[in-house]
Amino acid sequence: MREIQAEQIVNAVKQLCIDANRVLPQDLESCIHRAAEQEISPLGKSILCDLCSNMDAARELQIPVCQDTGMAVVFAEVGQEVHIDGNFEEAVNEGVRRGYLDGLLRCSVVADPVRRGNTGDNTPAILHTRLVAGDKLSLTVAPKGFGSENMSRIKMFTPSATIDDIIGFVVETAQVAGSNPCPPMVLGVGIGGDFEKCAQLAKEALCRPVSEPNGDPFYAELEEKMLEAVNALQIGPQGFGGKTTALSVHIAQFPTHIAGLPVAVNVGCHVTRHKNITI
């Protein structure tokens, strides 16, 4: 049995919150730079170049790459041979609290969904915990802004739905979103499970590197078809037209019931942030 102190978790989550908000994953940055080079719309190209300059400025000045520093979503894989000395959930939330306050990140969480009231420290986090083999603790912090989150959708298809129906739903979601999620978008698509599992799959798909296709060739090809169809909408960077409406589409799949075919689309903006550490 390996022991991990709660304070280690606090410090790790704090730094992940700060780093994820300041610097995008390298493969996503590279994808945006390529899009800027390949965009045929003059205005779209100019906007993408501005986004690249913004990423450089955030890195150099050590400030957030986007003013919406998001709600902290934390994925934790806890090894079964790990003993955490202290309260795990409290440690995660304390890490978020310190990260957002010490990192001067915007606090955007309200204490009650209807009565509102800002918590003042961006807690509580959305925490997904899974037990895995081994003696390590893996933490991924994915700050999620709500300009894009609000555009996300789920549909409970029946098994009679075709591949074209599924692609159509993804495309329709992007079309309805329009300029709201600050395109170019990153789309996470969950297929399978039940209602809540499907939505979680879509969120997890956003945390996969944009350079990494689905490991199943069938779904990798489906990702390509979805991306091509979404980009054919010509919404373009920030909604001003162009061929770069989405940077990537990632699918995460899971077994489902014989009577169901749930599909969820979690919309991410061009600032689709996530940072990981293994303790």
pLDDT of amino acid 128: 98
Q: How many residues does the chain have?
A: 279
* Torsion angle in degrees (nearest 10) through CA of 108, 112, 117, 118: -30
* Torsion angle in degrees (nearest 10) through CA of 144, 249, 49, 20: 30
Question: Which residue type occupies 120?
Answer: G
DSSP string, 1-57: -EEEEHHHHHHHHHHHHHHHHHS--HHHHHHHHHHHHH--SHHHHHHHHHHHHHHHH
Dig out the tokens for 35 from the structure: 């899009």
pLDDT of amino acid 146: 96
* CA neighbor of 22 nearest in space, from 95, 93, 104, 96: 104
pLDDT of amino acid 65: 96
pLDDT of amino acid 198: 98
pLDDT of amino acid 155: 98
pLDDT of amino acid 204: 97
pLDDT of amino acid 171: 98
pLDDT of amino acid 188: 98
pLDDT tens for the 279 residues of the chain, in order: 899 999 999 999 999 999 999 999 999 999 999 999 999 999 999 999 999 999 999 999 999 999 999 999 999 999 999 999 999 999 999 999 999 999 999 999 999 999 999 999 999 999 999 999 999 999 999 999 999 999 999 999 999 999 999 999 999 999 999 999 999 999 999 999 999 999 999 999 999 999 999 999 999 999 999 999 999 999 999 999 999 999 999 999 999 999 999 999 999 999 999 999 999
pLDDT of amino acid 36: 96
